[in-house]
Structure 1
Amino acid sequence: MGQTTSQIPEHELEHLSIESGLSRGGILKLYSRFISLATHRDKTTNEYFLTKGDFQSIAELKQNPLGDRIIDAFFADAEVLERRKVYFKDFVKVLSHFRPINKNKPHPWNSREAKLRFAFTMYDLNKSGTITKDEFQDILEMMIGANVPKEQVNSIADRTMREADRDGDGYITFQEFCNAMEKTDIEQKMSFRFLT
């Protein structure tokens, strides 16, 4: 695996804390985990980074039916996808989506819209900016397919498309996704307490 000791520059630690809402101690704990997973170092910047292969070596992700989708979420940002490297800042940004929202002290990486965008990318398998019935059905099958007959999964996907696809074009756009999630407490459903 990667290195176990390294330091985050003070200015970067402060910046990450402000943008993510994580405490300095929480960021340092994440950095320790990140460094233990990172098997690569950028020759130009000397920064550690993760590749898809590094994520695929994590046992918990191998066992999770959505493991590949979770890994893809770390590469959903166009810049990250293009460089095929997840640096520590990218790692923190993705994980910060799962922090509870503090409405009195908003953080750019952890707003309702940021959570919705992240959730949307989990369904948009081909990164087209829309969700098709097939994409939605594929995710449903990954999540519940072993416990629910295929016909029922198909029925759920059909009903969801009818309800969410307001203009009837066969695709759910991000705005339609937001409209469909309007009454969902995404702030709580996509939150868990860790490393505050």
Structure 2
Amino acid sequence: MGSRASSLLREEDIEEIKKETGFSHSQITRLYSRFHSLDKGENGALSREDFQRIPELAINPLGDRIINAFFPEGFAFRLYDLDRDDKISRDELLQVLRMMVGVNISDEQLGSIADRTIQEADTNGDMCISFSEFIKVLEKVDVEQKMSIRFLH
């Protein structure tokens, strides 16, 4: 499997990808091979159907919503904006949280999580999370994640 992928990738391409991503040679060839095994249309792009064949997404209760996020009409924001009104309400947040955790958390605990999330993200006071508010939260998470990684290294 790895040998097929490395034969399709030129060594200079692998070196360039290593510089840009920090991935190792074996990680790159493994990812390249996995991509080609998923690319049933053999056109260098993964279709919705290709994503749907990934077993981990097929069993994930949010699998369809995750797949939709990879296509132009979808963003990660759309995973939560169930009614497509360009804002995430408390009820929408609760529905998605319930899909993610099942019955492992009580309704009261989920309500508390939803309330706290909206309180932290909602900057204009409309009790919903707009796309711009969502982006600000993601940027904050990204910065905190980067700081954690630097600290660990």
Relative to the length of structure 1, the TM-score reads 0.54
**Alpha-carbon distance between aligned partners in 2 of 1:160 and 1:52, rounded to the nearest angstrom:** 30
- Highest CA radius of gyration, 1 or 2? 2
**Alpha-carbon distance between aligned partners in 2 of 1:29 and 1:178, rounded to the nearest angstrom:** 30
Which residue of structure 1 aligns with residue 124 of structure 2? 167
**Alpha-carbon distance between aligned partners in 2 of 1:16 and 1:135, rounded to the nearest angstrom:** 39
**Alpha-carbon distance between aligned partners in 2 of 1:168 and 1:155, rounded to the nearest angstrom:** 18
Higher strand share: 1
Q: 1:68 to 1:50 in 2, by over 3 A?
A: same
Which residue of structure 2 aligns with residue 41 of structure 1? 42
Deviations 1:113-172 (A, max 9, x none): xxxxxxxx5454248876443443233112213222334423321232123213313225
On the 8 A contact 1:39/1:49 being kept in 2, the answer is: no
Q: 1:30 to 1:72 in 2, by over 3 A?
A: same
Matched, 1:70 2:66: yes
Percent identity of paired positions between Structure 1 and Structure 2: 39
Matched, 1:81 2:77: no
Give unpaired runs (5+ residues) of structure 1. Answer: 43-47, 83-120, 191-196
Q: What pairs with 1:14-163 in structure 2 (closer than 5 Å)?
A: 14-42=15-43, 48-73=44-69, 75=70, 81=72, 121-125=75-79, 126=81, 131-163=88-120
Query: Alpha-carbon deviation of 1:68?
Result: 2.7
Q: 1:18 to 1:132 in 2, by over 3 A?
A: farther
**Alpha-carbon distance between aligned partners in 2 of 1:69 and 1:145, rounded to the nearest angstrom:** 16
On the 8 A contact 1:164/1:177 being kept in 2, the answer is: no
Greater Cα offset, 8-17 or 26-35: 8-17
**Alpha-carbon distance between aligned partners in 2 of 1:35 and 1:188, rounded to the nearest angstrom:** 34
Partner SS state of residue 61, structure 2: coil
Which residue of structure 2 aligns with residue 101 of structure 1? none
**Alpha-carbon distance between aligned partners in 2 of 1:24 and 1:128, rounded to the nearest angstrom:** 44
Q: Which amino acid aligns with 1:175?
A: K
Q: Between Structure 1 and Structure 2, how many residues are aligned? A: 137
**Alpha-carbon distance between aligned partners in 2 of 1:31 and 1:128, rounded to the nearest angstrom:** 38
Q: 1:139 to 1:123 in 2, by over 3 A?
A: farther
On the 8 A contact 1:123/1:136 being kept in 2, the answer is: no
Higher helix share: 2
Q: Which amino acid aligns with 1:53?
A: E
Say what the alpha-carbon RMSD is for the aligned residues: 3.4
